[in-house]
Amino acid sequence: MLIIKGQANLKLPTGLINGGFENGLAGWQKDGDGRSITQLGSIRPTEGNRMGIISTGLGYTLVQGILNQSIYIPETVNTISFDWNFLSEEFLEFIGSKFDDPFVVSITLETQNNEEIKVLDINVNKIAEMFNATQYDSGNLISVSPDIVFDKGDVWMTGWQTTEIDIKDYRNQNVILKFSVEDAVDTIYTTAVLIDNVKFDVEDLYNGQRIEVDSSVFNEDYIRGIWFNDAKGSSYVLYCPDDFSSQAEFVRKQTKFFNGYKNIEQVKFHAIKTTKEFEEVWNNMEGHPDTGVIDDVILLFHSDYHAIFIDSSNRQYLTVSPGGFAGRGKTIYEAYHIRNLQKKKIKRIELLTCNKD
C-alpha cells in the first residue's frame, strides 16, 4: 500500500487517540473512576460498541472521575466535538442547593505556566436550568430508575448531548484534554458522565472542504503495539535532513509505538542527501528474520506529482516517470527510476511531503 500525503507546514500530531473508547482506555490516563464500557443499563454508545464513563462513586472512587489525554492540535483543526450524557442522584431533590456536582472539560496548555482553560463548565444546577427542571418538576430530564440505580436515590439523566468547541486558538500546540466530574460538598450522592465520539473537525488545506477525522480507527495491530513485545520486526525512515529532521524523529518514535517494537533501534533512521545514498540504504534494507517482510518504509522529502526530490539544488531525484525524468515543461532533468531499486517485501510505504505548499 502506498500512501501519499501533502501539507504546507508538515507537523505530525500525536493525534487524538481512541476518541470512541473502542480500544478500552488506550491513549487515555485516568484518575479515580474512569473506564470504557459497552453500556450502562439500557444506555448504549452514540457510535461504535464502547463509550467512556467517569463518576464520583460507582465503586472505583468516592470523590472524582477523570479521563485525560495529551494531544497535539494540528494547524488544520477547527473544533473538537464530543457526546456526553450527565446522570446524577442529585436530581431532583438537590436542585438549587450547594450539592452541585460539576462536569468540566478543560484544555491545559503544555507551556511554562500550564494554563488550564475550561471549555465546558456545567453542574447540577446549570443543567437543571438548561432542562427546565426544579425540585418539584423534572422538566426535560429523563428518569432512568429502576433501570439504572447507583446507591442512594433515583437517577435522572440529560440524555446524549453533543458539544462542539472552537479550538483554532490552540493550533500547533501540545495540550492536555481533560474530562472530569467531582462531588460538591459531600460524597453521599453519585454523579456519572458518559462520554463518546471525541473527534477533531479538520479543514483540508487544499480545497477548503471540511473533513471529519474518526479518532477511533485503530485495529488489532495498534492494540498489539501498546504492549511493545515485538523484538524482531523492522521499519525504515528515510528523510531529507535539511527540511524534515524534526518530523523524521517524531515519525521514528511513532512507528516504534504503532508496530509494538521493544527497541527504537528497530526503526532504522537514515538522512539521505543523494540518490546514490538512497539506493544503498534501500538495497540493504532487511525485514523480519523469519519472513523477510519490512513493516514500514516512511519517506520524508519534497516531491512533485511523479518525482521525489532528494536534493533538488544538486538535481538528485527519484522518479516513477516512464521516461526517467523529473520536472515539467522546459525544466526536465534526468532522474533515478525506482524500478532500478531492489524488490522488497513491505507492508506499507508512506510518503510525507510538502507538495508545492
Residue 37 has pLDDT above 50, yes or no: yes
* Ranges 151-160, 249-258, 266-275, 323-332, most confident: 266-275
Mean pLDDT of the chain: 81
What pLDDT does residue 198 have?
93
Q: What is the pLDDT of residues 173-207, one digit of tens each?
A: 888 999 999 887 776 788 899 999 999 886 544 44
pTM over 0.85: no
What pLDDT does residue 303 have?
81
Q: Which amino acid is at 159?
A: G
Q: What is the pLDDT of residues 215-273, one digit of tens each?
A: 444 444 444 444 456 788 999 999 988 888 888 888 898 888 777 888 889 999 999 99
The answer to whether the CB of 60 falls within 8 A of the CB of 33 is yes
Give the CA distances from residue 94 to residues 56, 90, 214, 305, in Å, rounded to whole numbers and listed in that order: 16, 5, 38, 64
Q: Where exactly are the structural domains of the chain?
A: 2-212, 229-353
What pLDDT does residue 203 have?
53
Q: What is the pLDDT of residues 66-75, one digit of tens each?
A: 999 988 888 7
- 2-212, CATH topology level: Jelly Rolls (2.60.120)
Task: Compute the CA torsion angle 252, 255, 256, 259 (nearest 10 deg).
Answer: -160
